[in-house]
Structure 1
Amino acid sequence: MRDTIRIFRNGRIVEIEDFGPTETLLDYLRLREGAVGTKEGCNEGDCGACTVAVGSAVGGRMVYRPVNACIQFVGMLDGKEVVTVEDLAENGVLHPVQAAMVDHHGSQCGFCTPGIVMSLFTLYHAGRPAEHGTINDWLAGNLCRCTGYRPITDAAKASCGGVPADRFAREADATTGVLEFLSDRQDIFVGDSERFFAAPRTVDALADLYMQHPDATLVAGATDVGLWVNKQMRDLPKVIHLGRVLGMSHIEDIGDAVLIGATASFEDALPHLAAIDPDIGEMMRRIGSRQVRSAGTVGGNVANGSPIGDTPPVLIALGSTVELRKGDESRALPLERFFIDYGRQDREPGEFVAGLMVPKLGPGQQFRAYKISKRFDQDISAVLGAFRFTLENGVITDARIAFGGMAATPKRAVLAESRLIGAEPVKAASWAPALEGLSQDFRPLTDMRASAHYRLETARALLAKALVEIAGAPTATTRVIGRRETPAGEGEAAHA
């Protein structure tokens, strides 16, 4: 067991032994290192001013992802390379991304600029074409209120999209070797039995430690827990980080289902879930920003039990199962039964979410999912609806409908589902009773995001839209914005 963490900074290994359970990476950089180029803006992972690049050795190569330093606990960075804006220039010569920002006048007050530069640094190393949509998606988590985004996107087009040629690319093999050396099999425990940061290396070690400290806070990506600390001012004396647990981030296709480890990030899970249906990929692309998706996890989104979490309704509609572990015992539970009430899940003290089994679509099954929010990108849902229908000869024989934002938990619309059995999507009169059934399935609340009336009417509209699309309506007439495109030549039959 180690009582220190080790990170790779500017070509050297830095060992840190004295830090608090919830000390953030941002505070470490600014207050300890004096690396003040990384800024504190919103302090909740929205504005991107604190963006840094975190490098990991993945499959024998370096992968850089943007993260919000304000909501990353420094202990979570063990075994990673941390790159800040101060690190980019080489021998007094600006990095290509920095030079492009200067040449295209991409900065005015400059407060947001370091975070933007670091997000573009990760795009520079991503090996992806610097197309307009890609750039916009990459920068969705970086807000700028004085420059305007066009010169910034111009800088991205000028500097990204080619083969990386900076010193990080030249030193990639050596850096990979260092990170693989740092990735030992030791557990980490910093502190004492009353106040600690721990990062177990195996599932068994995690299970043992959590049984000893069931009052500890489990942290995977900290995209939610970080706000408990920064905004709610909670003191979390015991933190157990799950990010080092071997095998817990594994994603596996097993034929008719996808197994997703609890610590798999949104970014890693996205292509696997998008392969089930494009609507899932588009929904996940709109979860937070790229910084949030790089750190946040599918398992954490489930374990927190938020009634407005985006993935639970989709996973429930697909018929997913959650795996729970306590000590040496494991059990599986249909995901909809995991959520009991607001802030309450079917999880005993010392029990944790280990993974999820997500079924793929079977023969005759159709799926739709829609997220409604005030902003299209990087916003919390007012309503999220997910629908899976099984059809035989144009008749619905089975229906699973789940909503987020409509109740104290993500919840199925049981009455509406039963009223859809025998309905025909092409005949609106046959499924009209299901729309009315939603008013008995849900009693939504009014809050800052939407009124109860709006939520109920929107839920009805989303169910109707799903049925209209499945009946054969082209998505060009049912969606203002979306990624479900009609293949050439298929016309109205596409996705029906």
Structure 2
Amino acid sequence: LDAAGDLQLRNVNACTQFLPTLDGRALLTVEDVGGPGRLHPAQQALVECHGSQCGFCTPGFVMSLTACYESHQQAGTRPSREAMADALAGNLCRCTGYRPILDAGERMFDVPAQRLDRAPIAAALHTLAADDPLAYDHAGQRFHAPQSLDELARLREAEPEATLLAGSTDIGLWVNKQFRELPALIYTGRVAALREVRPESDGLWIGAAASLEDAWQALAGMVPALAELWRRFASPPVRHAGTLGGNIANGSPIGDGAPALIALGADVLLRRGAQQRRLPLESFYLGYLQNALQPGEFIEALHVPRPDTSWAISAHKVAKRHDSDISAVCAVLALQLRNGRVQQARFAFGGMAAIVKRAAHAEAAVIGRPWVEDTAEAAAAALANDFQPLTDLRGSSAYRLKVAQNLLRKLWLETLERRTVGIWRVARLAA
């Protein structure tokens, strides 16, 4: 149920979900979406379009299509073929062809409607709804699911070594791939205050347990230049479960969340017990997988300032595969322009160093100068003083540096041509 008490259907990856996190929720599998003697429109369309895979992957396609169908039926809309492809971005199998599956995604809206009966599911969930915290202890492993911020703060102080669990899109892999033992888990997903996304006049407050889907939808609404990055950030099943706070706490140098937030000047709100402290997100990262969290402390929320119309913002993700791939380079570039001159610059890059960081030399090369081609070239040249990237399977050091430099040049071209593709607002250069 969402905050309004309405049923919310979202597809997630079952392999990373911890069983206690499903308490109080309805679990639907491929066997549940149809009805007695009938198939769901997504299933029926796959049959009619010959879109079935070899077998193992087909249920995943069914669930992604079902989630897409139910969402659009609820909204009274019909997705484009591109939107359908986005809905299937997390289903990577291509063993028997892909066009028939996309065809099925379009066809299912023409199949006689046989939607899920939401009423009994919602009624059952309302019956199960409880304000009591959940605690589970078995065979030396403990699971706590507090209901309030104060309770979470007390638990975190009492068990600073416990693993904080939110969407489990990363921690789930620790268990099912690395077979790690996690003796104590504190689950944040039942704390309503942490799931809140609150627009304000000066920006956005995003709770640490807000899903990536909800957080990025709000961010892209405030800064449309981030919309394409949002589309390519993981996939719907991952974004539905994963959280922005978890993505930030994870601190991966190749994460796509931190470059956007750092370029926008986001702050992180930390809490330990009743004490809070706030610091710039860029100061949160101390080194590779190291952050400023103290024992017993956790991320409560992030604040993202609202840029005014003097800012030009461009966001780019460069990876080997378009969907569901890790970035070789992620760049979010922000320029404040007044009277054709650069007032401020915030160039944040992922995949270029041990942490996501700003390009201080490149920023210094443009601040105070007229925004002309020579200035963009100076920034590109200065970037070599900011980063000495590693070489790995996603790209060589030279490749990464060249890509990053070219993205700065692309920013210049975008502002020059006053395009709206990949850029939020082109400042009035002649004003």
TM-score, normalised to structure 1's length?
0.82
Equivalent residue, structure 2, for 1:378 = 324
Q: Equivalent of 2:342, from 396, 402, 414?
A: 396
Instruction: Tell me the distance in 2 between the aligned counterparts of 1:257 and 1:146.
Output: 45
Q: Which amino acid aligns with 1:297?
A: T
Equivalent residue, structure 1, for 2:79 = 130
State the 1:108 CA deviation.
4.3
Equivalent residue, structure 2, for 1:353 = 299
Corresponding residue SS for 2:271: strand
Equivalent residue, structure 2, for 1:469 = 414
Q: Equivalent of 1:142, from 84, 91, 95?
A: 91
State the 1:185 CA deviation.
1.1
State the 1:348 CA deviation.
0.4
Equivalent residue, structure 1, for 2:24 = 79
Corresponding residue SS for 1:184: coil
State the 1:111 CA deviation.
1.5
Q: Which amino acid aligns with 1:77?
A: L
Say whether the 8 Å CA contact 1:416–1:434 is kept in structure 2.
Answer: yes
Equivalent residue, structure 1, for 2:214 = 268
Give the percent of matched residue pairs that are identical in Structure 1 and Structure 2.
Answer: 45
Equivalent residue, structure 2, for 1:436 = 381
Equivalent residue, structure 2, for 1:218 = 164
Equivalent residue, structure 1, for 2:357 = 411
1:104 to 1:354, Cα distance in 2 relative to 1, 3 A? same
Instruction: Tell me the distance in 1 between the aligned counterparts of 2:379 and 2:190.
Output: 46
User: Cα deviation per residue 1:425-484 (whole Å; 9 max; x = unaligned)?
Assistant: 2x2123432222211111211111111111111111111211221233546xxxxxx666
User: Cα deviation per residue 1:299-318 (whole Å; 9 max; x = unaligned)?
Assistant: 11101111111010110010
Corresponding residue SS for 1:173: helix
Q: Which amino acid aligns with 2:12?
A: V
Q: Which runs of 5 or more structure 1 residues have no equivalent in the other structure?
A: 1-55, 476-481
State the 1:113 CA deviation.
0.8
Q: Equivalent of 1:199, from 138, 141, 145?
A: 145
Corresponding residue SS for 1:386: strand
1:297 to 1:394, Cα distance in 2 relative to 1, 3 A? same
Equivalent residue, structure 1, for 2:395 = 450
Q: Please identify, of 295-304 and 82-91, the stretch whose mean Cα deviation from structure 2 is larger.
A: 82-91
Equivalent residue, structure 1, for 2:182 = 236
Corresponding residue SS for 2:230: helix
Instruction: Tell me the distance in 2 between the aligned counterparts of 1:96 and 1:392.
Output: 54
Count the aligned residue pairs.
Answer: 426
Q: Which runs of 5 or more structure 2 residues have no equivalent in the other structure?
A: none
1:265 to 1:108, Cα distance in 2 relative to 1, 3 A? closer
1:430 to 1:114, Cα distance in 2 relative to 1, 3 A? closer
Equivalent residue, structure 2, for 1:103 = 48
Corresponding residue SS for 2:300: strand
**Greater relative contact order (Cα 8 A, min sep 6): structure 1 or 2?**
2
Q: Equivalent of 1:177, from 123, 139, 146?
A: 123
State the 1:278 CA deviation.
2.2
Matches for 1:1-80 after TM superposition, within 5 Å? 56-80=1-25
Q: Do structure 1's residue 315 and structure 2's residue 244 form an aligned pair?
A: no
User: Cα deviation per residue 1:387-425 (whole Å; 9 max; x = unaligned)?
Assistant: 111111010011111101111111011121111112222
Equivalent residue, structure 1, for 2:245 = 299
Q: Which amino acid aligns with 1:341?
A: G
1:493 to 1:333, Cα distance in 2 relative to 1, 3 A? closer
State the 1:57 CA deviation.
4.3
Instruction: Tell me the distance in 1 between the aligned counterparts of 2:113 and 2:155.
Output: 42
Equivalent residue, structure 2, for 1:277 = 223
Q: Which amino acid aligns with 2:409?
A: A
Instruction: Tell me the distance in 2 between the aligned counterparts of 1:162 and 1:287.
Output: 31
Q: Please identify, of 312-321 and 458-467, the stretch whose mean Cα deviation from structure 2 is larger.
A: 458-467
Instruction: Tell me the distance in 1 between the aligned counterparts of 2:278 and 2:110.
Output: 44
